[in-house]
């Protein structure tokens, strides 16, 4: 897009009408869409007027009464025909509004909490929806018991949200849909795509009246909608956590290759761990004491509290004392990356302050069921969900099905990310203990619009793999011009 990001999505702005009329074919908006139309964005100070429509609010889910918060921005280029892109941040437990304001969305929050345009936003060529998922993350409500959170449950609720979203915005029905995300979305997205493609292929056993398109069996799984309005064309995942063993076992290979640990530390781990590093890093299951000790020594030597593992060449945000603690990332993925590349390192903290302003929450329709608009405590990541989430250890079984459906698929890796690095990603794509996909087009360079080397790419049967030169865990942040 240049990564399929060019074809999936791309960047920056569309018809921001003063009255709530859907840009697509001037279709009158549904009542909920009218209610969610954003009339004015507080603290906007960019000299260029906003020229694209925006909608935000909580989408009720008929199956269980949860309300999923979303922010939908129309395409600047041609909202009538441009594709629909769903963006999911990882965690698990982190908000996609973090990705919206610090990576690929149309706006950036400055240190004085004013808002300016991001010239490289993906809504330049796509209609983009940022969804806070699962419930309890960001403005999505309510938070559930920790035992309720797992990937089947999260997938079911995202699928149900998509149905309700397309009922609310019918002009987007049958629009080409691309599902995108990063980090733990390496689990979310294969699960979601698997749900969509298998549901399409399976006859639905129960007809539902309008606005009630699904049912839920116990335990959080089993949502089997027909998805008549969803036209899934592909998916793209950046630095995707996909398999705990394969990704985890590449951890210290990357550290050593990038001069973050010594040869002695590395050899000690090789001697004591064999293939245990993944278990020790992410699960603590089948992790021997000697291996754990060797890893701990390596992490101490790398001084991980003071470098940014999400972007090893970047700075860390020093606004508060707990930021260093957030970078102790073992057994966690994508909690709070601190580096924002050409965007300031502390932009995520500015975003948090901005979204906690009462005037902003009123503008984006953060309301209770009674219609009141209290100040709601928004955070980039919900640590209770992250700690208690019942995580899947691998998404590889889902790929065995979804690769049969001829979808456009892009897996991309910023090569400066130590957390979910390109070494592990290549291994789960190509190695015998991964998908073992055959190569259809050999490794070669690819270039950005400025004709500078942007990274390397290799085509496999069913998907494309790309590295992005100089980018970290959140690829859209660094070297933004090559990402659209």
Q: State the Cα torsion 116-121-127-130 to the nearest 10°.
A: -80
User: Does the annotation mark 473 as catalytic?
Assistant: yes
Based on its alpha-carbon atoms, the radius of gyration of the chain, rounded to whole angstroms, reads 21
Distances in Å between the Cα of 461 and the Cα atoms of 300, 350, 440 are 41, 42, 6
Whether the CB-CB separation of 44 and 6 falls below 8 Å is answered with no
Count of other CB atoms within 10 angstroms of residue 49: 9
Distances in Å between the Cα of 192 and the Cα atoms of 266, 402, 417 are 37, 10, 25
Cα 191–Cα 197–Cα 202 angle in degrees, nearest 5? 115
User: Does the annotation mark 82 as catalytic?
Assistant: no
Angle between helices 151-168 and 185-201 (to 10 degrees): 70
> Which of 183, 229, 392, 413 is labelled catalytic?
183
Whether the CB-CB separation of 169 and 33 falls below 8 Å is answered with yes
User: Does the annotation mark 436 as catalytic?
Assistant: no
Residue in 185, 220, 5 with CA at minimum distance from that of residue 95: 185
Residues with active-site annotation: 183, 417, 473
């Amino acid at each position: 897009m240049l990564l399929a990001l060019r074809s999936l999505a791309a960047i920056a702005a569309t018809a921001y009408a003063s009255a709530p009329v859907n840009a697509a074919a001037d279709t009158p908006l549904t009542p909920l869409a009218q209610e969610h139309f954003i009339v004015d964005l507080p603290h906007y100070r960019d000299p260029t007027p906003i020229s694209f429509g925006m909608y935000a609010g909580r989408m009720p889910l008929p199956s269980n009464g949860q309300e999923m918060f979303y922010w939908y921005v129309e395409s600047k280029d041609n909202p009538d025909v441009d594709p629909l892109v769903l963006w999911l941040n990882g965690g698990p437990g982190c908000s996609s509004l973090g990705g919206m304001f610090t990576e690929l969305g149309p706006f950036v929050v400055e240190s004085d909490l004013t808002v300016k345009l991001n010239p490289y936003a993906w809504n330049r060529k796509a209609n983009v929806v940022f969804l806070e998922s699962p419930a309890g993350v960001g403005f999505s409500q309510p938070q559930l018991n920790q035992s309720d959170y797992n990937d089947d449950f999260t997938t079911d609720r995202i699928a149900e949200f998509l149905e309700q979203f397309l009922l609310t915005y019918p002009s987007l029905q049958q629009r080409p849909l691309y599902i995108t995300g990063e980090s733990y979305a390496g689990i979310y997205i294969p699960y979601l795509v698997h749900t969509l493609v298998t549901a399409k292929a399976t006859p639905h056993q129960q007809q539902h009246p309008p606005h009630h398109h699904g049912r839920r069996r116990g335990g959080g799984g089993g949502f089997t909608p027909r998805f008549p309005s969803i036209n899934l064309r592909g998916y793209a995942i950046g630095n995707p956590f996909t398999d705990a063993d394969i990704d985890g076992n590449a951890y210290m290979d990357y550290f050593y290759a990038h001069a973050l640990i010594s040869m002695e530390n590395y050899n000690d781990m090789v001697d004591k761990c064999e293939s245990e590093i993944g278990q020790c890093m992410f699960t603590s299951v089948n992790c021997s004491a000697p291996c754990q000790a060797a890893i701990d020594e390596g992490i101490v030597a790398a001084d991980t509290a003071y470098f940014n593992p999400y972007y090893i060449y970047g700075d860390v945000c020093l606004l508060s004392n707990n930021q260093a603690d957030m970078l102790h990332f073992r057994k966690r993925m994508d909690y709070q990356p601190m580096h924002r590349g050409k965007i300031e390192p502390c932009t995520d903290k500015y975003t948090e302050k901005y979204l906690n302003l009462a005037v902003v929450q009123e503008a984006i329709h953060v309301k209770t069921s009674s219609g009141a608009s209290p100040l709601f405590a928004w955070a980039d990541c919900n640590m209770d969900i992250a700690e208690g989430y019942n995580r899947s250890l691998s998404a590889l079984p889902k790929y065995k099905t979804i690769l049969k459906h001829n979808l456009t698929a892009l897996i991309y890796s910023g090569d400066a990310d130590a957390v979910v690095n390109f070494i592990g990603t290549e291994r789960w794509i190509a190695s015998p203990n991964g998908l073992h996909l055959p190569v259809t087009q050999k490794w070669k360079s690819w270039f950005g619009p400025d004709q500078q080397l942007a990274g390397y790419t290799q085509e496999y049967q069913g998907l494309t793999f790309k590295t992005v030169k100089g980018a970290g865990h959140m690829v859209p942040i660094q070297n933004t011009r090559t990402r659209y």
